[in-house]
Chains A and B, each alone.
Chain A
């Protein structure tokens, strides 16, 4: 049986992780390559690097990070943030990433999904979705709307419709981020995750809201997610990946336990 995946997400700005990341033994390192290696050894099933570099002239720094990560970790990793064109996707994949995630660029220009899937295969193309809960309307029948700019701009696009459309265009996986839950540490948005995951036939990674291992159990079980993204709960040493996986196993959820 397939294991549910636990995926740490690292925000990278100008080649450094953005938060002074602390572990239980109090090391404080800002190098995404060392961080990636650490999570690889801890049993992460995949790693996401999210480039939040503001200026595009610093993109080569991120590509260098990707190259160095690819030389030291031997599990899949994906790179997102600032991907606007197929050429951007190619750069990241050639540098050694397994997958590349497109988010707002795909909302603004859906064809990038089709082009990316045709050029590199669907398995490389992850659709990142930022979603907010809104009143049900004729335009937004699911009650979940696509947003960009960190939730500041509403796109008038129904999230469920967009997920199905992206699948049709060739997205290989969806990383579904609830802007409402993001940063709350009170749990993933189960209802949204279940809605999307049970309607598409591609894997869905739940994102936003994780604060405790039980939150992962809930979203992987009731939310039917195929994978769960985590950030601060491991970055600050509150939990190790092994502790999270142990709780999931206790709840009867299949995870990878040997590495």
Chain B
């Protein structure tokens, strides 16, 4: 069974629906008992870093997430579920979980595309991700696949060996990271059509072992 962490973030059901569609048993839950009994954990998220950290602490999920990480359970972070894994987020000036070294920053103002068009914030829509390495979760993704993004803050990991995917939007930033039994991505695989579903499928079959 897959536990989808319920920390009162928006739209948890879209991940649930995608996993069900792929034929996997899952449950949106904040129960420590159920989460401990699960084979893998999805840490989704739509919302602000400040409120997310507040809720995680309130529900004791910050400690539990660390415990399951140490236990070797495969964990998938999505969007804010990626962002709060780092040390710090500029959004609401938030101290985060500190599981991954690095921070989360607001996009610079006045970014421009190659053709000089002013770039909007949030970064909303489909963008091409360049995956690198041979991590099992990011296999069988057709070349030039695009993924759905919606965010105003971007991850800035300090350990380059943890970066497995990059994307360009005014700047180049890391959009997928992997560390031991943890993978996390800024885009929404549950809203990215077939290549997104492929990533979810890969995660559900992953033994949690790094390459």
What is the distance, in angstroms, from A80's C-beta to the closest C-beta of chain B?
17
Contact B11 A93 (CB under 8 A): yes
Which chain B residues lie closer than 8 Å to A257 at the CB level?
144
Which chain A residues lie closer than 8 Å to B114 at the CB level?
1
In the complex, which of the residues B144, B169, B191, B197 contacts A76, with contact meaning CB atoms closer than 8 Å?
Answer: B191
B169 closest partner in A (C-beta): A2
Contact A258 B14 (CB under 8 A): no
B47 closest partner in A (C-beta): A121
Chain A binding site: helix, strand, loop or mixed by DSSP? loop
Contact A123 B193 (CB under 8 A): no
How many residues of chain A have a CB within 8 Å of chain B? Answer: 35
Chain B: number of interface residues, binned into ranges: 35 or more
In the complex, which of the residues A4, A5, A71, A259 contacts B193, with contact meaning CB atoms closer than 8 Å?
Answer: A259
Chain B binding site: helix, strand, loop or mixed by DSSP? mixed
Contact A98 B11 (CB under 8 A): yes
CA distance A76 to B149 in the complex (A): 10
CA distance A225 to B126 in the complex (A): 15
Contact B146 A3 (CB under 8 A): yes
Decide yes or no whether B145 CB sits under 8 A from chain A: yes
Contact with A along B115-126 (1 / 0, CB 8 A): 001111111111
Decide yes or no whether A132 CB sits under 8 A from chain B: no
Known contacts A121-B10, A258-B145, A258-B146; A5/B126 CB under 8 A: yes
CA distance A95 to B179 in the complex (A): 34
CA distance A71 to B20 in the complex (A): 9
Which chain A residues lie closer than 8 Å to B195 at the CB level?
258-259
Given contacts A3-B126, A172-B122, A224-B117, 16 further A-B contacts (CB under 8 A): A1-B168, A40-B193, A70-B13, A71-B20, A74-B18, A74-B191, A93-B11, A96-B14, A98-B11, A120-B10, A121-B46, A121-B47, A123-B46, A226-B124, A227-B125, A258-B145
Q: Interface of A with B (CB < 8 Å)?
A: 1-5, 40, 45, 70-72, 74-76, 93-94, 96, 98, 120-124, 172-173, 198, 201-203, 224, 226-227, 256-259
